Structure 1
Amino acid sequence: MIVVTGANGQLGQLVINELLKTVPASDIVAAVRTPSKAADLAALGVTVKEADYTRPETLEAAFAGADKVLLISSSEVGQRYTQHLNVIAAAKQAGVGLLAYTSILKADSSPLPLALEHKQTEAAIAEAGIPAVILRNGWYTENYLASVPVALQYGVVLGCANDGRIASAARADYAAAAAAVLTSSEPQAGKVYELAGDESYSLTEFAAAIAAAADKPVAYQNLPQEAYTKALLDAGLPDFLATLLAESDTGASHGGLFDDSKTLSQLIGRPTTSLSELVKAAVAG
């Protein structure tokens, strides 16, 4: 039995869909905070169980009988580590054969402040002694695609990444990798995968891709981190998200979002989804 936590989230739903290509629905558990909001997952034939990262008793019940558990990292930055500890403890108590964790690219050396809780979680998994595999996911291309409508409206992409190269991939690519690891016939315990897109780009090139897809001028404007944070706040983003995105751009300027190993495409057996394809779809709306 394979349990996917955070299954109601964007990544979790994609992982479930990938698993269903090769795994019977009866062998998959979608672990979610609010089961009543998972009717779409139940309709796929998978078992839906309550699993709240902040309520250990729900995790213990959700993991009972599990062979493998995918811990999709919490979205609550600043509270992740404590929540992950609950999941790790429940997985250990359940005696799962493999715990897979979605970490961040090069978590042990990343310049992104976002990496701290991932690094702590990886250490906690190792200390717990559970058979585990670490999926160090790079940046989701969707994180930048969200800016396409505004870029088309004003003809500018804002950021503070300078000329840093970003080897992002589509969320679906990372979901395919998680499913591949969870269903692999080869032993996965002890492995650490650095996962990123096949191609890399600067935000100047990202703006050029939008311009080409829309056939209208779009340029990149680099700002100091503080100015970019303010621009995001002025656009209505919550403080934590504005800070996260700006810090991540700065991290990108120091190589934090770049990897050229092509481990992701090797793992999923196909090239990662190209930037141009994703941008064209975003422009088309």
Structure 2
Amino acid sequence: MIVVTGATGHLGRLVVQDLLDRGVPAGEIVAAVRTPDKAADLAASGVQVREADYDRPETLAPAFAGADRLLFISGSVPGARLPQHHAVVDAAKAAGVGLIAYTSILKADTTTMLLAADHRATEARIRETGLPHVFLRNGWYLENYTERLTDTLRNGAILGAAGDGRLAAAARADYAAAAGAVLTSDGPVNVAYELAGDESFTMAELAAQITEHSGTPVTYRDLPVDEYATTLTGFGLPPEAATVIADADAGIARGELTTDSRDLSRLIARPTTSMPDAIATTLNN
């Protein structure tokens, strides 16, 4: 049995679909979700749905009971994430799961990005359990940029603090396919995969591709990190979130969101989605 946490989220749904596409029987997949009512479509397809609320630890071990493999998709709220993650890991240990695969962050053990601290601590907690594990160290999603294309085209600019740093982003579906490959194979355990796109790009190159594919001029405007954080706060982001996002751009400038590992394309047995293709697809839909 394979349990997927956060199964009604963007990544979780793609993982469940990938497992089904690989021929895993629906009845052997558990969608562990905070709000079961939001998984009615998954239940209708035959997938088991169990309540698993990271903020309610008592729901976790029962949701993981009988799991041969558990995909632990990280929480999304900085600040609240670490206690949530400890609860999930402890419940996985209590339930005796056969393997825990955790969606971490690229270069979790070396990056200095603020965003990585919770992931690094979670990886350590998982190691302490002694459970067989795989760390899926996901890089940036192309959707971080394509899902904001309408606003980007309206404004004619991308703001950031990445300088001329390169990042190797991939589509969310690519990362989901990597998770599906790990969950359905007898590959190595107690390993970390550095997952990112095959091709890297700068923010200026991103702006140029948006311009080329849309016909609307878009430029990249680079800001000092502090000014970028202040700008994001002005757009309505909470100060803590703005600081983390601006700091991530600084990480891009330092080269912390790119890798030559090719782990992602090897796991999914195909090239990763390219940035130009992602832009073209979004504009044509």
- One fold, TM greater than 0.5? yes
Distance of 2:154 and 2:283 partners within structure 1: 11
Partner of 2:13: 13
Q: Report the counterpart of residue 57 of structure 2 in structure 1.
A: 56
Alignment partners' CA distance in 1, 2:213 and 2:19: 33
State the number of aligned residues: 284
Aligned to 1:96: 97
Per-residue deviation, 1:167: 0.2
Aligned counterparts of 1:13 and 1:108: Cα–Cα separation in 2? 28
Contact 1:210 1:283 in 2 (8 A): no
For the 8 Å contact 1:7–1:30, the answer to whether it is kept is yes
Aligned AA (1:79): A
Q: 1:230 to 1:281 in 2, by over 3 A?
A: farther
Secondary structure in 2 matching 1:135: strand
Residues 75-114 of structure 1: matches in 2 within 5 Å? 75-114=76-115
Distance 1:251 1:52 in 2: 31
The worse-fitting range, judged by mean Cα deviation, of 119-128 and 81-90 is 81-90
Alignment partner, residue 131 of structure 1 = 132
State how far apart, in whole Å, the 2-side matches of 1:79 and 1:271 are: 35
Q: Is the 8 A contact 1:214 1:283 kept in 2?
A: yes
**Pairwise CA distance, 1:222:** 0.4
**CA distance in 1 between partners of 2:75 and 2:208 (Å):** 33
**Superposed CA offset, 1:14-63 (max 9, x none):** 00000011200010000000101111221221000000112222111101
Q: Give the conservation status (yes or no) of the 8 Å contact 2:198–2:271.
A: yes
Partner residue, 2:154: 153
Aligned to 1:217: 217
The separation in 2 between residues aligned to 1:249 and 1:175, in whole angstroms, is 24
Shift of 1:236: 3.1
175-184 or 229-238: bigger deviation:
229-238
Alignment-mate amino acid for residue 39 of structure 1: A
- Off by >4 Å, runs of 4+ in structure 1: none
Return the alpha-carbon distance in structure 1 between the equivalents of residues 57 and 149 of structure 2. 40
- Deviation (angstroms), 1:193: 0.4
SS in 2 for 1:38: helix
Q: Structure 1 counterpart of 2:95, which letter?
A: A
- 1:196-236 CA-partner distances (Å, limit 9, x unpaired): 00000000000001001111211111011122222223333
Offset at 1:98?
A: 0.4
Task: State the shift of 1:112 in Å.
Answer: 1.0
Distance 1:174 1:283 in 2: 22
In structure 1, stretches of 5+ residues that fail to align are none
CA–CA distance in structure 2, aligned partners of residues 45 and 271 of structure 1: 31
CA contact (8 A) 1:149 1:283 kept: no
What's the CA shift for 1:269?
0.4
Per the alignment, residue 275 of structure 1 pairs with 275
Question: 1: distance between equivalents of 2:70 and 2:171?
Answer: 22
